[in-house]
Amino acid sequence: MSDIRVRFAPSPTGHLHIGTARTALLNWLFARKEEGTFIVRVEDTDRSRSTIEFEESILEDLAWMGLYWDEGPDIGGDFGPYRQSERFELYQKKVDELLRSGQAYRCYCTPEELEERRKARLATGLMPKYEGTCRNLTAEQEAECISQGRKPAVRFRVPEGKIIIHDLVRGEIEFSSEVIGDFIILRSDGSPSYHLAVVVDDGEMKVTHVIRGEDHITNTAKHVPLFEALGYSVPKFAHNAMILGPDGGKLSKRHGATAVSAYRQMGYLPEAINNYLALLSWAPEETREVFSLEKLAKAFAIEKISKSPAIFDINKLNWLNGQHIRLADLERLTNLCIPYLVDAGLLADRELSRKDFERLVKIIEAVRGNLTVLSEVPMYARIFLGTFEIEQDAAEWLKKTHAPEVLTALLDILEARGKLNFEDGREVMGILRDNFKPLGITGKNLFMPIRVGLTGSTKGPELPFVLNILERDDAIKRVRKALQKAKEAQSR
């Protein structure tokens, strides 16, 4: 293990958002690439909006993505606790230190006063900023504030001068401390601000690299001097660009699903989500685009993270998902498809006998090439698992004059043979092709009546798969029914 330590720091105030998941992925990839430590730290200082259910849901989604952590609230570690709500004493201690050294001071301004001054600044064209009203209060002035019943917050005394962020993606970013203003580190109710908690935790947890969204850059400008004031070494920063919706606005619900769990429910595979989020973050050097998580970790480099925002393109994600469905381990894929088939009423139970499971594996093998998302599986598996019905457009093929002849020939073969495997299925198709070629019945004219006779549909997997999957007796029954229908059509 190297000394590199990164953290993913979600606030448990909602489900894992796809953009936040991208930040987690980038941290994870970096940790794996550098053989470092990936920490999950739960930022639940906002007690009114944070819930344990959201924390659990975020961890569940991370685990689903395969982004396992080395230290975290559920598994502990040497730098715990990993929930900010359990670290309040530490924050208080750090605030006391800063107060003693004069790097922080008590501020007695009320929210109303602050709001009034903010408005006044805006009205005169100035950026909102704390003006330092309480920066240099005398002991008498403080005593006066206390006697008025004012409850103090604590502000960090931002040192004058330039603040420089060394960003591994963007290079040097310079801020003047002028624009920042002394910010609150402890609220008047005694709770730490986000800025304080993050800096203390990153410092105490020996975080070496902070990888997070570019919406945090101005926060970073506040954090750098605070790290220094507290005597921590300042981590390296990398701010990744945002994910935007197709209209160029920040990706949000109005663009479609944003929760990772929603994508899981729709039947996206975690490897496709990871692959897609990685492609949104940097352009791989190779021309190929389909990567496993391990390959992504190998290909990753922090400097490669893109500076420009990426547009979320669902079509690209769909394409990648289809690719990963084709690559996935077949038994795993089958297990993932089962809930969709149960919900659609095509399977009675999630628990299958070995024999039924093996048959289902064959079905999934046959249909996976058609799938974009797993929730489509009932549509394609219906021909094997549902009752045999001849669809309206499919019935047209049975009206062709040669249909009874083709179906009779198929029936003869099925009756003469036992169970067909895929190779037998190919052989059967070969025999039929040879028999009907001299009669000029080829291509669709031949295989459509066969397909309709076996599945009731004009669409579906290759016919050798179909012949292999259907039980022989069932196949015979189906073809008989179709033949009957074909004959009726002729006599009309």
So which residues are the catalytic ones? 253
Q: Supply the minimum distance, in Å, between the C-beta of residue 473 and ligand GLU.
A: 59
Neighbouring CB atoms inside 10 A of 142's CB total 16
For the chain, the 3-state helix, strand and coil shares in percent, each to the nearest 5, are: 55, 10, 35
CB of 65 or CB of 325, closer to ligand GLU: 65
Q: Supply the minimum distance, in Å, between the C-beta of residue 37 and ligand GLU.
A: 16
Amino acid symbol at 185: I
Task: Classify burial at 255, counting beta carbons within 10 Å of its beta carbon; exposed 0-12, middle 13-18, buried 19 or more.
Answer: middle
Order of strands, sheet of 104-107, starting from the edge strand that comes earlier in the sequence: 104-107, 153-156, 184-186
- Residues 344/298, Cβ–Cβ less than 8 Å: no
Q: Supply the minimum distance, in Å, between the C-beta of residue 198 and ligand GLU.
A: 5
Pick the closest to residue 452 from 379, 397, 378 (CA basis).
397
Pick the closest to residue 461 from 375, 377, 367 (CA basis).
367
CB of 6 or CB of 394, closer to ligand GLU: 6
- As a residue count, the chain comes to 492
Give phi and psi for 421, each to the nearest 5.
-95, 180
In the complex, residue closest to ligand GLU by CB: 43
Q: Supply the minimum distance, in Å, between the C-beta of residue 84 and ligand GLU.
A: 9
Distance CA 29, CA 277 (A): 12
- Residues 332/301, Cβ–Cβ less than 8 Å: no
Query: Coil, strand or helix: which one is 251?
Result: coil
Distance CA 483, CA 477 (A): 10
Q: Supply the minimum distance, in Å, between the C-beta of residue 239 and ligand GLU.
A: 10
CB of 40 or CB of 367, closer to ligand GLU: 40
Helix or strand holding residue 310 (H, E): strand 310-311
- Residues 15/259, Cβ–Cβ less than 8 Å: yes
The CA-based angle 479-366-277, given to 5 degrees, is: 150
CB of 21 or CB of 310, closer to ligand GLU: 21
CB of 67 or CB of 470, closer to ligand GLU: 67
Q: Supply the minimum distance, in Å, between the C-beta of residue 186 and ligand GLU.
A: 18
CB of 88 or CB of 436, closer to ligand GLU: 88
User: Which residues, other chains included, contact 92 with Cβ-Cβ below 8 Å and sequence gap of 6+?
Assistant: 186, 190, 192
CB of 9 or CB of 109, closer to ligand GLU: 9
CB of 207 or CB of 293, closer to ligand GLU: 207
User: Which residues, other chains included, contact 431 with Cβ-Cβ below 8 Å and sequence gap of 6+?
Assistant: 413
CB of 6 or CB of 381, closer to ligand GLU: 6
If you ran DSSP here, which 8-state letter would residue 419 be given? -
Q: Supply the minimum distance, in Å, between the C-beta of residue 107 and ligand GLU.
A: 24
Q: Supply the minimum distance, in Å, between the C-beta of residue 210 and ligand GLU.
A: 6
User: Which residues, other chains included, contact 125 with Cβ-Cβ below 8 Å and sequence gap of 6+?
Assistant: none
User: Which residues, other chains included, contact 26 with Cβ-Cβ below 8 Å and sequence gap of 6+?
Assistant: 211, 238, 240, 281, 300, 305
Query: What are the residues binding ligand GLU (CB under 6 A)?
Result: 9-11, 43, 198, 212, 216
Pairing of β 184-186 and β 153-156? antiparallel
Distance CA 327, CA 214 (A): 34
Pick the closest to residue 210 from 220, 218, 200 (CA basis).
220
CB of 70 or CB of 424, closer to ligand GLU: 70
Task: Classify burial at 81, counting beta carbons within 10 Å of its beta carbon; exposed 0-12, middle 13-18, buried 19 or more.
Answer: middle
Q: Report the sign of the C-alpha dihedral through residues 423, 426, 432, 433, in that order.
A: negative
Q: Supply the minimum distance, in Å, between the C-beta of residue 45 and ligand GLU.
A: 9
Q: Supply the minimum distance, in Å, between the C-beta of residue 201 and ligand GLU.
A: 9
